[in-house]
Structure 1
Amino acid sequence: MVIAVYEAEKSLQLDNANSFQHDNPVATESTSFSDSPSSGQTYPDFPGFDSSSAKVWIYPTNYPIRGYQMKISEAALFQNTLVCLPTGLGKTFIASVVMYNFYRWYPAGKIVFMAPTKPLVAQQIEACYKVMGIPQAHMAELTGSTAAKQRQEVWKTKRVFFLTPQVMVNDLSRETCPAKQIKCVVIDEAHKALGNHAYCQVIKQLSSQTLQFRILALSATPGGDAKSVQSVISNLLISHIELRSDESPDIQAHSHQRSVDKVVVPLGEALTAHQARYLQVLEKFMSRLVQNRVMGHKDLRTLSKYQLILARDQFRKNPPPNIKSPQQGMLEGDFALCISLYHGYELLMQMGLRSLFFYIQGIMDGSREMSRARNELQRTPIFMDLYREMEAMFVKPSAGSGPQEVSTRVMIFSSFRESVQEIAAMLNRHAPLIRVMTFMGQASAGKGVKGFTQKEQLEVVHRFRHGGFNTLVSTCVGEEGLDIGEVDLIVCFDAQKNPIRLVQRMGRTGRKRQGRIVVILAEGREERTYNQSQSNKRSVYKSIIGNKSRFHMFP
């Protein structure tokens, strides 16, 4: 490939640029050349720009050529582009093409690829290396675990960097990252660029020093609503959007059908009875907050954990004048207890009784370190009756397993760690037919179920892909980006308010063959949440495709 480029550029210097067409015999099998829109022109004085290599841009033909990828790549070379492509359709491929061309056009320039977590950074390096022939000696992975002094050296000597945005922010503010030499910035999972996210800080700091760099932002979903899409556009200086949805004709040939089944589960008599008893417990502790006028009286069935947290913040900012400080501490404790109990209520309603039991067991056996809550609950007979009944029901079953090859692969998502463990325990009873692994994000210290370090996360992904396991039960950490391999069936154990989360989950199937998605919803609120999230997603896509003028683009 390098030779092909060299020869092409040599022939360019002899020829007039305009006579250089696609069918030039010099282009080898792995490379094809496209005239850049500006052939034959003189270029403005871009610092560090090599006008001889700029007569062409290069697109690899060592992979099957897909029209949409080529079209998006070309657009992304000449404008700051937000690329929204369903998962599995080659966003990284497009990024590699753009990075490679900037690598050629700016022989001394630097190129940055950012992804939100270390495991994603590691995955993207490998993917980019496969697509484009940037010598490995010119590439570097920078993480927070590399000493700052050492990073300074790497910034000087290498040209293509893969890193998390936090590291980039740190190095920009230390002035070890040479901002003016950066010519191309790729941002993966770009929908995260909201508020004061590290992505936004990087672009702010870079653009305060230079505007001579190209931005390419990648995401499977641009945002949960039009407002957040606009924020991403503004924060990442986007001037052009390339959006494809599952319905787009140019990608249909390349994506496999995915059927989505919605299963609505009624609570049933037993759970309804437990719900009523649990609400009585909640009522008891909530009524103290209501009596002290720090919480309005709400129907407990429609209350949300978020409303409780808002009320507590309000109470902290301006406590009622009649409440003295010892009593303030009491109420603070009541808020904490109600928020915990309400979390339990959500578990009961979405996941069932066993999840509720494991959560509460953590409070009662002291592993959650909530001694005040435990003492209060122990003094509440109606609660203790319920707890003892659950205890009698859920004595842990033992599980055996033995590996064997099965081709079906299943991924199950649930938002709560307790529920992930419970689902895994239930499925383990069906070993060796079902061979289960669990997958969770990094834990906050000390509470409940222990999380996985990033190293363990990569290990799980590797073992699931190669180790004879056929079922992965995951919290939301499995939604984003990590290439878990081909999955045939996805079960969503709970609905997501945010359409981004659901799209990410669905993106785990239908990459190489047909996939099926089953969403299990509790009757009532959870079902409404799901329907709302689906219509949000449709309206965001509609507003981008049908009404681009609605968004303010960066010039």
Structure 2
Amino acid sequence: MEFFSHPLIKEATIEKREYQEKILNIALKANTLCVLPTGTGKTAIAILLAAHRLAEYPRSSVLVLAPTRPLVEQHKRAFESVLNIVEPVLLVTGKIKPEEREALYKEARVIVATPQTILNDVSCGRLELSEVSLVVVDECHRSVKKYAYPQVLEKYFIKSKWPRILGLTASPGSDISRIEEVKRTLHADAVEIYTEDEPDIKKYMKQVDLEWQHVEFDDELKKAQEYLKAALRDCLSKLKEFNINIYTKKDLIEAQHKARMEVGKKKNPILYYIVSLIAETLKLWYALELLEIQSIGAVKKYIEKLEGEKSRSAKRLVKNETFNKACEIIKNYKGEHPKILKLREIVSNIFKEDENARVILFSHYRDNIENLYENLKGIDGCRPCVLIGQSKHGLSQKQQVSMIRDFDAGTFNCLITSPVGEEGLHIPSADIAILYEPVPSEIRMIQRRGRVGRTKTVKIIFLITKGTRDEANYYISQRKERKMKKILKEMKENTNLLNWSGAANNSVQ
């Protein structure tokens, strides 16, 4: 096996791969958006580029940005294990006093942090960007709108003496305007994309077995579903009378935002009614979502919450005859969602067949995660734990890091996670990913799949309820992923701002 060689890289730590060398040679010449499948060594490219920049500009430092504390910790460990420098990699958190951070910045050669922390310190003058020779932007698909990445990168590009930006992602999205925005934010002159199907990549990809488990509602749940759908159709028809046409949840949220803006400008009673009607429609939409793709416990809990609400929309909804027919069925239902039953069966079989198996279970709604935990904790051989974000009595970032380490070490063997566990985390011990519900986002589906399969053959199991939005969401994400790959390939072919013909022949060893 051949390894990359560089004075600032420890010997025999990064296996030489042709596609990494090609991307590195381009990134040495220009700001680059790098799109690679999960587990194919994006971080290794970042470390190699950091070594070259630190060698070329010995007085400079390198800044590595990632969106969450667990990811930042992961980068610290990766860079420290490979870079051959005396100074320790500086992990910056809000727990370090501001005056201490300012002093630490001056000594550090590699800094890893969340973009918000860096933005605060740059804005307050604690961190000077003029001598930062490289910024690595992990999960750079977040480099849009009001997120901190664009603000940090704009300041960096203006102030740095030797600006260089490397953006890393497995999933930039299928919206051409969004990808172009990411590219602009990164000041990227080059776009490097490799897919799982390309020969250079394929030989390094681990086998991933996909399995689809379909379940179906019984007659009672189908009836409750129909009542909720009928109530929802009624609300959508009323909105249509005001020329508000709704096809997706996103349409509904945008309509709500627009109506609220209008209420702020005009004190018109009709506008107040529209705002309330949209809120009622959203509540119905959410109740149907919980029934179709989550659990009976989650929708029961939500109905109880609605019955205690004081808002006009909630009061009107709980008086809705059709909605109440659905509620009566759900409240009196003695069984559980067919997905829960299937999940228990799957998890039980996994640990019967292999007591050393490690499972990651993804679920979108936090209200359902507690229910999943309760359902799995009694299964022989299953030691579940929960990974959730900080809000609403969740886990602190320190607790999140600790939970991931405990799972990786084998203290727990089934990690039930909210969206906080989808992005970027490297959990080499995981064998199986179970997607409790498909999500209509190509970015999130790619991220979820990418948590396993980095070091060994793995299985990914999709749970899908027939005749529900589960089916639509799955096919939407697949269509968007195909569209994303097509856009990126075209973008790569059309990116000819610099002449790369001799790049692959550069003397990177």
State the alpha-carbon separation in 2 of the partners of residues 175 and 244 from structure 1.
39
TM-score normalised per structure 2: 0.84
Q: 1:83-102, aligned counterparts within 5 Å?
A: 83-102=34-53
Change (3 A) 1:288 1:323: farther
Corresponding residue of 2:179: 229
Aligned 8 A contact 1:110 1:184 in 2: yes
Tell me, yes or no, if structure 1 residue 125 matches structure 2 residue 76.
yes
CA displacement, residues 374-403 of structure 1 (integer Å, 9 cap, x when unaligned):
644554565455435433435999x9xxx9
Aligned 8 A contact 1:129 1:136 in 2: no
State the alpha-carbon separation in 1 of the partners of residues 266 and 41 from structure 2.
61
Aligned 8 A contact 1:411 1:489 in 2: yes
How many residue pairs end up in the alignment?
484
Aligned 8 A contact 1:437 1:471 in 2: yes
1:251 Cα offset (Å): 2.4
Corresponding residue of 1:473: 416
Aligned 8 A contact 2:136 2:166 in 1: yes
Look up the SS of the partner of 1:224 in the other structure: coil
Tell me, yes or no, if structure 1 residue 247 matches structure 2 residue 205.
no
State the alpha-carbon separation in 1 of the partners of residues 265 and 404 from structure 2.
55
Aligned 8 A contact 2:129 2:159 in 1: yes
The letter of the residue matching 1:32 is: S
State the alpha-carbon separation in 2 of the partners of residues 75 and 409 from structure 1.
38
1:530 Cα offset (Å): 2.2
Tell me, yes or no, if structure 1 residue 194 matches structure 2 residue 134.
no
State the alpha-carbon separation in 2 of the partners of residues 321 and 107 from structure 1.
57
The letter of the residue matching 2:200 is: D
Corresponding residue of 1:172: 122
Tell me, yes or no, if structure 1 residue 112 matches structure 2 residue 60.
no
CA RMSD in angstroms comes to 3.4
Tell me, yes or no, if structure 1 residue 498 matches structure 2 residue 438.
no
Corresponding residue of 1:32: 5
State the alpha-carbon separation in 2 of the partners of residues 509 and 479 from structure 1.
11
1:516 Cα offset (Å): 1.4
Corresponding residue of 1:529: 473
Corresponding residue of 2:504: none
Corresponding residue of 2:93: 143
In structure 1, runs of 5+ residues without a counterpart are 1-28, 34-55
CA displacement, residues 237-258 of structure 1 (integer Å, 9 cap, x when unaligned):
1122232221121222222111
From 502, 520, 538, the counterpart of 2:482: 538
Tell me, yes or no, if structure 1 residue 422 matches structure 2 residue 364.
no
From 126, 134, 157, the counterpart of 1:184: 134
The letter of the residue matching 2:62 is: I
Tell me, yes or no, if structure 1 residue 274 matches structure 2 residue 247.
no
Corresponding residue of 1:51: none
Aligned 8 A contact 1:234 1:553 in 2: no
State the alpha-carbon separation in 2 of the partners of residues 471 and 242 from structure 1.
35
Greater CA radius of gyration, 1 or 2? 1
Change (3 A) 1:502 1:134: same
From 63, 74, 77, the counterpart of 2:28: 77
Percent identity, please.
29
In structure 2, runs of 5+ residues without a counterpart are 345-350, 500-509
The letter of the residue matching 1:147 is: K
CA displacement, residues 31-53 of structure 1 (integer Å, 9 cap, x when unaligned):
735xxxxxxxxxxxxxxxxxxxx
The letter of the residue matching 1:515 is: V
1:266 Cα offset (Å): 4.4
> More deviation in 93-102 or 305-314?
305-314
Tell me, yes or no, if structure 1 residue 406 matches structure 2 residue 358.
no
From 253, 257, 275, the counterpart of 1:313: 257
Change (3 A) 1:151 1:330: same
Aligned 8 A contact 1:406 1:470 in 2: no
The letter of the residue matching 1:175 is: G
Corresponding residue of 2:507: none
State the alpha-carbon separation in 1 of the partners of residues 237 and 203 from structure 2.
59
1:174 Cα offset (Å): 2.6
State the alpha-carbon separation in 1 of the partners of residues 382 and 44 from structure 2.
34
TM-score normalised per structure 1: 0.77
Look up the SS of the partner of 1:78 in the other structure: coil
Aligned 8 A contact 1:186 1:216 in 2: yes
